[in-house]
A and B are shown apart, each in its own frame.
Chain A
Amino acid sequence: MVNTRARYFFARNTYLFSLLLLAILLSVNYSLQDNLFELRILNNSMRTLLPLIVLAVGQSVVIIGGGIDLSVGTMVSMLVAVLVKLIDAESSSTDIVLAVLAACGVGALAGTLNGVMVAVLRLQPIVTTYATSFIFSGVALVLLPRPGGQIPTELRRFYAGTPNGIPLAFYVIGILILVWMLLRSTRYAQFLFATGSNDKAAYTTGVPVKIIRLTTYIWAGVFAGLAASALTFSTGSGQANIGDNMTLDSIVAVVLGGTRLSGGKGGIAGAIIGVMILRVIRNVIFFADVPTWSQTLVNALIIIAALAGPGLVGLIRRVVNK
């Protein structure tokens, strides 16, 4: 009984190991950088992390459903371009809300394109979304050939705000987790996890596998819209390749957070923690005076370790059990 409960707890909360890792890394980071938790520094870090966090949340949904989306990065670039077109220094708050909705809407359309190809036409998700990523980056260039754009000063101030002494990003994260917890107790979540874990079994049980899979890509698109909004508010302007590098980071964050890359297991809390781990590792490298040229190398090693991690854990467990 106790064993069953413990197993259930660990299997449901896949992010626990990542949380521990984050805590360790944070203490290392703190020892190198003692102002890490000062409000201004913390708010700065969280503000720049928020776009990737939102994007990784969308990516988690796709990965849990058994797919992968390699187009989210350029999708962000495209949607930033959309936002920059719709917002200028004089925009009212209504305009801004409408612009964010438009970005999410265009993101949903782009996600539908991916979803139809993967779920309905049954094309291979890696190749398909890699291909569509070039469409999105092309559209971004057409919309925004030169870097530019402006946003109202109040908006930038709002985004950089710390209501009640807590960085705005934490409120967003709180809302995301709350929504996820509600979603987790719906039938949609059961279908999502079933589809990612064993799509044939799900189908014979009466789960609408195609529709579920399609919706995961739409979610990724909507979250790309939110990520693009956060990125625009943070930087105050845009350029046509601003999000391109975020794809790989979003996948690595999901994996670092304990979500299984082949689907059916994980959650968004892991993705959020994963983004933070990624950032803290990079912080540590920076403050440990590692030469800049080796930072790219270290980044690549983190990615490989994150992808190989689950396999390594299994291997270690087997060796230890012997």
Chain B
Amino acid sequence: MALTLFANHIVKRYGGVIAVRDGSLSITSGEVVTLVGANGSGKSTLSKVITGVAAPNEGQLLLDGKEVHFASPQAAKKLGITAVYQELSLVPDMTVAENIWLSHEPLRAGLGVRGGEIRRRTRDLLALFEGTVSPRLQPDTFVNTLPPDERQIVEILKAISNQPRLVIFDEATASLDSAQVDRLFDLIGEWKRDGMAIVLITHRMEEIFRVADRVTVMRNGQTVGTVDIGATSEGEIVQMMIEGASSPGDIRMTPVEVSAPVRLEVSGLHAGRVRGVDLTLRDGELLGLGGLQGQGQTDLLLALFGALPYTGTVTLAGRRIRFRHPRDAMRSEVAFVPGDRGSEGLMLSRSILENFLLPSWRRFGLIHDVQAARGAASSAAEDLSLVYSTLDAPASSLSGGNAQKVVIGKWLLREPKLLLLNDPTKGVDVGAKGEFYALLKQLTQQGTAILFYSSDDDELLGLCNRVLVLQDGLVRDELSGDRLTRSNLVAASLGTGHGKH
């Protein structure tokens, strides 16, 4: 059944904060619209209004010419509107099949859930991603045993299982690897031909040009324009999104001298998924870690931070070390920035001040000199050009990009010599990324050695002079100079490049 949806001049306030000031979006069946904008520009909120999760304060939703008001997500779902959410909406203790069919279970005589039917239909849905997921992913697998990418896939299948007319993908590709993204885009193409209307929220420019028919750009809670994909360019979209954004290409680090002292030397490291990694990192160098997701990059960083038991030798500034606890690493001037800022990086309900100072209270005396601490935190906030109301506001009041700055900023107060970054820009908008890259450059110039895992190939290509590509817990290839190209990066991550092993 065809559908036309107009969201006109939507306003949504949360308390005193305006999340969407003037949001508009239109879409019809058989069309893919990408919704782009900086973090905090209101994309997610606008999509929540469309799917009935949030009720708008002003503005109207027109569905097939009639004004609609959704009291709950259920109401929107009944009319065929659903979403793949950024914060996953899966129930951890239930199986894949139960999650996919939750609240629209096929019923027997209106009461009993048809378990066999659910499993069979789930198997059909899982077949859509066959080959890009592990064979462990079965209808009866519990969701809490799945890695993030497979959870995301379950989330996608859950939205699709209801045979919706309109699906909003809110950054659904952020945790998928490239093979999974390719498959998803093939499927989106099919669904589009079948007459589904699709809204795709993404931070990846390349994805916009791959699938979109039209692009709607939001800035500061406002829809600033919609353009046909054929009549626009990357530059124009970026320009619309944010003034003066720098693409990573402009900011490549200066190569380090071979004479620079070696900060970190690792040999034969085994930990978790890591099955024997050697690497050398010099002061002032930004060494990239690439490859598909879950190939051991995170485990490598965790091991180096003392958060995961390992075997092998690690030498830090010429001294053999063995960290048993993150505290040991911190004492040796090592800092770690986690990828999941919500659960690992920030105490969301505590103030920005406390978040900044958590690793460094020791510096301010046994009985804290709060004045001095406040001064240090506010100068750090200034260095990071953090956008915030007051230092006493809770960390949850920060937008995504700014929250990420605090996650990094709290370690900068300790002036680390080795910084471990675990996919730090995941889900961060282009503008905030630019500032973040500038910060990295400043750090390397001060001599900080940085080990940088990113799931974004553009980022690795744009920033690093040397990238280690991991596959299956091993360094598959080391790319630098002329060999550091996109095709080599992809080839190595798929294990087809000139291997070191």
Contact = CB atoms under 8 A, between A and B. Distances in A.
Interface in A9-36: 11
Given A194-B94, A204-B73, A186 B140 contact: no
Contacts of A194: 91, 94, 102
A155 interface: no
Interface in B62-117: 72-74, 77, 85, 87-95, 98, 102-105, 107, 111-113, 115
Interface string B112-133: 1101000000000000000000
B111 A201 contact: no
Given A4-B141, A187-B113, A190-B113, A200 B89 contact: yes
A137 B235 CA distance: 72
A185 B94 contact: no
A241 B74 CA distance: 45
B91 A206 contact: no
Contacts of B164: none
B145 A197 contact: no
Interface string B306-319: 00010000000000
Contact of A186 (B73, B90, B94, B111): B111
Nearest to B53: A204
Contacts of A197: 91-94
A205 B140 contact: no
A47 interface: no
A230 B210 CA distance: 68
B142 interface: yes
B136 interface: yes
7 contacts: A5-B140, A8-B140, A187-B113, A203-B73, A205-B91, A205-B102, A264-B91
Interface size class, chain A: 20 to 34
A207 interface: yes
B103 to A, nearest CB: 4
Contacts of A196: 93
A265 B72 contact: no
A40 interface: no
Nearest to A322: B309
Q: Considering residues B91, B102, B138, B141, which has the most beta carbons from chain A within 10 angstroms of its beta carbon?
A: B91
A233 interface: no
Interface residues of B, number: 33
A191 interface: yes
Contacts of A264: 91-93
Contact of A265 (B53, B93, B136): B93
Contact of B112 (A185, A191, A193, A265): A185
Contacts of A187: 103, 105, 107, 111, 113
A236 B87 CA distance: 56
State the main secondary structure of chain A at its contact with B.
helix
A194 B91 CA distance: 6
A197 B90 CA distance: 9
B403 to A, nearest CB: 19
Contacts of A186: 111-113
A7 interface: yes
Interface of B: 53, 72-74, 77, 85, 87-95, 98, 102-105, 107, 111-113, 115, 136, 138, 140-142, 145, 158, 309
B170 to A, nearest CB: 11
A120 to B, nearest CB: 15
Contact of A205 (B73, B111, B142): B73
A1 interface: yes
Given A186-B113, A265-B93, 17 more contacts: A4-B138, A4-B141, A5-B140, A190-B98, A194-B94, A197-B94, A198-B91, A200-B87, A201-B89, A204-B73, A205-B89, A205-B91, A205-B102, A206-B74, A264-B92, A264-B93, A322-B309
Contacts, number: 85
A135 B351 CA distance: 39
Contacts of B113: 185-187, 189-190
A193 B94 contact: yes
Interface of A: 1, 3-5, 7-8, 11, 185-187, 189-191, 193-194, 196-198, 200-208, 264-265, 322
B354 to A, nearest CB: 24
Contacts of A3: 136
A254 B142 CA distance: 23
A187 B104 CA distance: 9
Nearest to A195: B91
Contacts of B77: 206
A11 B142 contact: yes
List 5 tightest A-B contacts by C-beta distance, closest first. Answer: A206-B74, A197-B93, A206-B103, A204-B89, A201-B89
A197 B105 CA distance: 18
A227 to B, nearest CB: 27
B362 to A, nearest CB: 29
A207 B89 contact: no
Contacts of B53: 204
A3 B103 CA distance: 28
A202 B102 contact: yes
Nearest to A208: B74
B93 A7 contact: no
Nearest to B104: A206
Contacts of B145: 7
A185 B115 contact: yes
B112 A4 contact: no
A281 B111 CA distance: 40
Contacts of A202: 91, 102
B90 A201 contact: yes
Given A186-B112, A187-B105, A206-B77, A193 B91 contact: yes
Contacts of A201: 88-91
A7 B89 contact: no
A18 B115 CA distance: 27
Contacts of B158: 205
Contacts of B93: 11, 193, 196-198, 264-265
A51 B93 CA distance: 30
A199 to B, nearest CB: 9
Nearest to A260: B93
A206 B73 contact: yes
A1 B138 contact: yes
Nearest to B309: A322
A45 B87 CA distance: 50
